[in-house]
Amino acid sequence: MTGDAGGILDALDPDQRQIAEALRGPVSVLAGAGTGKTRAITHRIAYGVKTGAYDPQRVLAVTFTRKAAGELQGRLRELGADGVRARTFHGAALAQLSHFWPQFVGGDAPQVLPGKVAAISQTVESMGLRLGAETLRDIAAEIEWRKVSLLSIDAYAQHLPLRPALAGVDSEKLIDIHDGYTKLLEERKQIDFEDVLVLLSGMLEVEPRAALQVREQYRFFTVDEFQDVSPLQHHLLKLWLGARDDLCVVGDASQTIYSFAGASSSFLLRFGAEYPNAREFRLERNYRSTPPIVLGANKLMRDKPGALQLSPMRGVEGTGDGAPASARGVTPTPPQFSWFQTEQDEARAVAQAIRMARASGTPASDIAVLYRTNAQSARIEEALASEGIPIRVHGAQRFYDRADVRRAILLIRGQAKAGDDRPLFQIVSDMLREVGWSAKPPEGSAERERWEALNSILSLADEMPAGTTIVKFSEELLARQRSQHEPKVEAVTLSAVHAAKGLEWPLVHVVGLSEGIFPISHAQTEQAIEEERRLAYVAFTRARDVLLLSGFASAARVSRVPSRFVAEAGVGH
């Protein structure tokens, strides 16, 4: 052990510490919701770097979203493992493809399409067909599923009887669309996001020099959210590894919510069969949620394949969260379910409850409203706006893509070059005033959203250690911008459940818990219902202190009953 490497392990519980000390060979971590998996894997990597077991330049941490990669990168930086790369599968693959293409193919790599729908629409029109926007998006999803499942068009045709039917498109026409879309991209010398992984995989298979370069660059791999790996991603990962097995995978089968997109928890659950010498660890101590929330989540997933039974650790002496919940002003209460006549009634009640929570001292940023589909957000947005409550829609425009945020960062970077030695808070507040920030928040909802975004930059400056210079703060902002590590915005978060995975809030409302909405109406098979159940599990386990569930009885003249998941979690009303 070198330097202060041992200190890195002090923040871990015994189970997390075992994982952090398992630095070599194949390692599988089955980690339940709220069990500190990100803490375990980032400390494992940092410990490997500090002890000299890992060269940071040869470590690659892989996850599925830019936000998650940014969080990993930020935590690793805080732990002193600056040289380690945290990337998405697509981000790492695109960088490698762009590097190898001039060497082994010649010229620049093909342009990556920002989306498939426009090209599919052109293909459909050339066939003399007229299809709606929803059907075009469904076709795009089918093309993605085919590619991530490693199926040729001919092989995909054999699977069609088991695939969902698409409105206005029979099997023969659908195959023709796949074929026409492929030819159109070839003519344009363009590729889509799945092609990035397909082409890189092919290059690593046929070009030994390319494979050798990757394996010389990266020696140690960590893959987070391994339950969401597709056959294509698994294939690429094997090519990255070659004959080596220094791979740590982390996941939770109960949070497999992308099966419709080709993800499979089988790679996580069968890891021991794939690597017979693998060490398997379990993280089942839940530090996030109060005991009633944890017990409800356990009931929902009891006896399901790969399900972990979480142990509630909130308030247990000797854990990382030693204070009893009541000592933090939180009295553990069971999840509650409310039933309303209409969707409007539900939205108004949720908005009023949030207004009361804020009035009693709960910050807006500690509250989230989760729903099954994005279409449900409109009613909630309208109701919250009527109460004057600031909101941010998660998954909409990214924080660092906002024009006002980009301008503010440019001003701060410019001021850093000017050598301003005033207190950091004063400098940053002056720069923010130049782009429209004021000490008093505005009244209008659109202006309030802009103000909250700028104010979050000032809050970040206020949280920096005493004596932080404008130069150091500018560097921190730039690093966060590159990794999409967003600061906290003081607003209620609205999010579809799929987009909320990996996040948490003290107070969570899950709305629309009615049969036909959640679970969604097209979930007809047992397999589809199980996916919906896992999605409900993800939604419920986002809550730390308070979980409020609700649904409504009628919409568009359709009568509904409460979602089966409410009763399965043991929540009464």
Residues annotated as binding site for ATP?
A: 31-38
DSSP state of 45: H
Cis, peptide link before residue 519, omega less than 30° from 0: yes
Point out the annotated binding site.
31-38
Tell me the DSSP string of 148-201: HTT--HHHHHHHGGGSPPBTTB-HHHHHHHHHHHHHHHHHHTEE-HHHHHHHHH
Q: How many helices (H) and strands (E) does the chain have?
A: 24, 17
Q: Tokens representing 265?
A: 């928890």
CA–CA distance from 83 to each of 218, 230, 485 (Å)?
A: 12, 28, 17
Which residues neighbour 484 within 8 Å (Cβ) at sequence distance 6 or greater? 66, 67, 69, 70, 398, 399, 400
Residue where the block lists tokens 């530090």 = 287
DSSP annotation of 489 reads P
Enter the tokens of residue 228: 């969401």
Other beta carbons within 10 angstroms of residue 168's beta carbon come to: 11
Q: How far is CA 359 from the centre of its chain?
A: 31
Beta-sheet pairing, 27-31 with 247-251? parallel
From CA 42, how far away is CA 224, in angstroms rounded?
10
The angle subtended at Cα 437 by Cα 482 and Cα 390, nearest 5°, is 85
Report the DSSP beta bridge partners of residue 227: none
Torsion angle of the four alpha carbons 255, 259, 263, 267, in this order, in degrees rounded to the nearest 10: 70
Instruction: For residue 153, give Cα distances in angstroms to 158, 171, 180, 264.
Output: 9, 12, 11, 21
DSSP string, 320-376: TT-S-GGGGT------EEEEEEEHHHHHHHHHHHHHHHHHTT--GGGEEEEESSGGG
Number of neighbours of residue 467 by Cβ within 10 angstroms: 8
Do residues 38 and 63 make contact, with C-beta atoms less than 8 angstroms apart?
A: no
Task: Report whether 64 contacts 103 (CB < 8 A).
Answer: no
**Residue partners of 384: CB distance under 8 A and separation at least 6:** 351, 354, 391, 492, 494
SS3 at position 503: coil
